[in-house]
Amino acid sequence: MTSAPYASRERSTKERILGAAEALFATHGFAGASLRQVTAAARVNLAAVNYHFGSKDKLIEEVFRRRLDELNTRRLAALAKVAGQEDTSLEDVLDAYIRPALDLSRNDGGGAAFVRVLARAYAEHNETLRKFLSENYGHVLRQFAGEFARLLPGLAKEEIYWRLDIVTGALTYAMADFGVIQRKNDVDERDHRETAAEHLIRFAAAGLRNPSVSTSTATR
């Protein structure tokens, strides 16, 4: 049909591998999911992974690149709509940061799994992965930090990075549905994530607005 060889399968071999890898990495982790599980789920030959991607590590990187590029683009696009304007609120910027991740998690079948994979990446101490994420994620974080600095002139730049770090951690945690609290069975997964995002935005906004204090113990 198109130019793809061995074509006219429902999806190409590379895409099927990426989809299966994403789902299995989310469930069992990078070390816990084997290439035999991945290729079996994708209904492709075992050797296809090393043929199309070179190695398991390269496959992991490709799983990230596919979604992360889109997530970063959406976040920056949402930020561009509100950045620098007078009537922009803190909630608007936080929404630009959180909403794309929420949308990603419910658009197609694989997005929800990727959010969990993203949380894995933070938990894994893999230096290669950390470096890869920092390169693709760092400039987005920097742009958001710049806008937050504009809206929060009372906070030092370093303080903003601190708080943004907490927000990102809480976001990753909430989005990945790693809470101890298990949602009721009659509540849909979408509603669950939507509610989580609403709470998180209000929570984060209140935390970011909190005025900075001098270096002392937090209590008493």
Nearer to DNA, 8 or 214 (CB): 8
Nearer to DNA, 13 or 172 (CB): 13
Burial 175-202 (b: 16+ CB within 10 A, else e): bbbeeeeeeeeeeeeeebbeebbeebbe
- List residues binding its own copies (CB under 8 A): 26-29, 31-32, 89, 91-92, 94-95, 116, 119-120, 122-125, 133-134, 137-138, 141, 159, 161-170, 172-174, 176, 178-181, 195-207, 209-210, 213, 217-220
Report in angstroms how near the CB of residue 3 gets to DNA at its nearest.
Answer: 5
Give which of its own copies, DNA, none residue 140 binds (C-beta under 5 to 8 Å, depending on kind): none
Nearer to its own copies, 61 or 92 (CB): 92
Tally Cβ neighbours within 10 Å of residue 21.
28
- Selected from 11, 55, 198, 212, the binder of DNA by CB under 7 A is 55
Binding flag, residue 123, DNA (CB under 7 A):
no
Dist. CA 121–CA 217, nearest whole Å: 32
Dist. CA 120–CA 30, nearest whole Å: 8
Q: What DSSP designation does 183 have?
A: P
- Selected from 45, 89, 195, 212, the binder of DNA by CB under 7 A is 45
Residue in 143, 60, 28, 156 with CA at minimum distance from that of residue 97: 143
